Amino acid sequence: MDQDPEEPLVLRVVDRLAASYPDTPRDYIEDIVAAEFGTLGHARIRSYLPILVERSAWNRLHREAGHRPG
């Protein structure tokens, strides 16, 4: 089965956010990043997608700090 071409981008975003939020479960961060990719996935200029997703996910994690499961 072919790998999704954006999967490495997703993993890099998750890695950076996991480093910034070490007390947050990685699977929770993965869920947020996946949701943000889903929201922004319609972008026509794909080269900006990772930074937009990372910024959106970071903002969401920042807002939810103290209100997340686990």
pLDDT, tens digit, 9 for 90 and up, residues 17-67: 999 999 999 999 999 999 998 888 777 777 888 899 999 999 999 888 755
Cα end-to-end distance, the chain, whole Å: 34
pLDDT score of 3: 58
36, 53 Cβ separation under 8 angstroms: yes
The per-residue pLDDT for 45 is 76
Q: Tens digits of per-residue pLDDT, 2-18?
A: 556 667 888 999 999 99
* The pLDDT value given to residue 70: 45
pTM equals 0.78
- Dihedral over Cα of 10, 13, 15, 21: its sign: negative
Going 60 to 66 to 69 to 70, the CA torsion angle's sign is positive
